[in-house]
Structure 1
Amino acid sequence: MAVPSVSGSWRRKVTGLLRPVFAVAGLGMLALLVRKAGPQELGGVLLAAAPWLPWVALLELGRQGMDALATRASYGARAEHVPLKVLARAQLIGTAVSSMAPAGRAAAEATKAALLSPHMGGATATAAAATSQAASLAAGGLISFPCAAASFLLTGWSAFTLAMLGHGVVLVVASTGLRACMRARKPCAWLARRSQRWAHHTEQFRVTACHGTLLPWGPVLAFLGSRTLQVAQYAVLTHAVGIDTSLVQALFSQGLYLCALAVGSLVPGQLGVSDGAFALAAGVLDTTTARAMSVALLSHLVQLVFVAAGALTPLVWRVRPAPRPASPSPVYR
């Protein structure tokens, strides 16, 4: 058991070193983009768009609610054992982790599982977290197809269209594959052999994962609702910066963000990556580089508010530790 420990320690050290490197690289790219777009023009656009930010923040609050609903749906019948305030607290903390950690969504689901496991047991919470991750992948893939259709209407069979289409296919396949692995005996048996700590949890994990369909439609639909609200956010943001907005352009902006999210998953908050993607697509949006970049910058600003709230949550919002359930049962339906 010493080798896995050393290997895990090595991976943590590499991740710890890469995180600040990618953060600095993202900030450097952002500085170059701001210089190219023109700081004065960019500042004017941002100031003019500022009155629209409360509406974007309100839509983001709705997104957080839908993401929390997806997490709750992933727990199935055992969700009733999780108090709503505990779920809300876990969602806020998970949001901060999702925005700042590498592979943010997976890290956020692991964080929420750790916070909610006292209410249902580690194996059940881990299975629900993996189910939620699979549902998030599926929702991101499914929303990518209308985004690719919008890109086709604007650009034809361009690199943007192919990237969004490929992104959708990869995410749906990855979601299905993850759920299939969760339900298969061999991967669970392999994990049990590799980790003595998890040996007595793996069967409970697998049985929990086997409840319900291969794609967990309850969580998937909740995450799709979240992505739909994000499309509305981009509609507001593009309008706020002075772009003649339509549903097609809002969907294109959403697809652009999702592709940037995939490419810049190791960059905290995708700083510099999503900004570069929007700057690159300024011609497609029929606007200036400064206005296109402003969409990403305003999105970062709203994101920063929720990251700060999530980071402060453990300090200002404490909950009583819950007794661990004696016998967590497989519950996902």
Structure 2
Amino acid sequence: MAMGINTNMGAINANRILDQTSRAQETTMERLTSGLRINRSADDAAGLAVTTGMKTQTIGTEMAIRNANDGIGLVQTVDGASEEVTNMMQRMRELGIQSMNGTYNNDNRQQMQVEFRQLQLEIDRVADTTKFNGMSVMTTVSANGFAMLSAGAVNQAAASGFVVQQGLASGLQLQVGWETDTDWGKASVNTIGVALMDFKTLSARSETVKLLAGVSASFAANVSVARGAVAIIDAGLSAMKTMRSHWGAVQNRLDYTVSNLQNVNENIEGARARIEDADFAKESAELARTQVLQQAGQTMLSQANQQSQQVLSLLQ
């Protein structure tokens, strides 16, 4: 074997391998530091593309879960207020039945009318003040941005044998999917519509609905007025029970929606982790291996550099 000093092949080879070992060690340390197997596209181009799509889905799914839970909160708010309105209408109906009894004089009926009117005003007040996130949910307000059903429309739907559906295409829609719909509000697979009723359309709250025609009116006239009031209240109660049934069904549906979204999110996160996350056991072993190789490579590089010194012995 020829001996030369201008080109030290042993040192070149040792330096090349030592450089490869250093790069492998840097990659391993980066993975152990970040906890990720893929820190840049060069690590795994296809894997990065897959995990980016999965991350998009999980972020969207997590937001959809929050949306659905917010929807449950809105439905509970409306239903809770509706229960109080129902209780007030039941009391109004009770006063109507009482006022039709012949044992009460017109002065007594006038006293019943005072409470009857106060309940009507309270129904109006509840409709005006019940809000969710600052939005009126019991009466139509232009600022809401969504339409509501009238009490009459609710009763017509119930009378024709149809359950109140998801309301209007322009009504309240809950975004419970991580994707968008090209046809918003129609045959949607990512939104759930919630039908809301405008409580100001309840005829029972109108000032024209009374328990008596007047203090000086005849018994028959006052009974007729009270009977008409009870009939109007019955129509309002019918709309209320139909709407509350719808809200209960929607709330149960949203519970299942949240459960399904959580299950999907969990499985997608697991799949993403298997592709993107670092295996600490494997990377720790790789770090130990590269550290030993680096030390050995440095030693061999030193030895290769010393070989050139052996040429001097030939010149002595």
TM-score by length of 1: 0.25
Larger Rg: 2
Flag the structure with higher helix content. 1
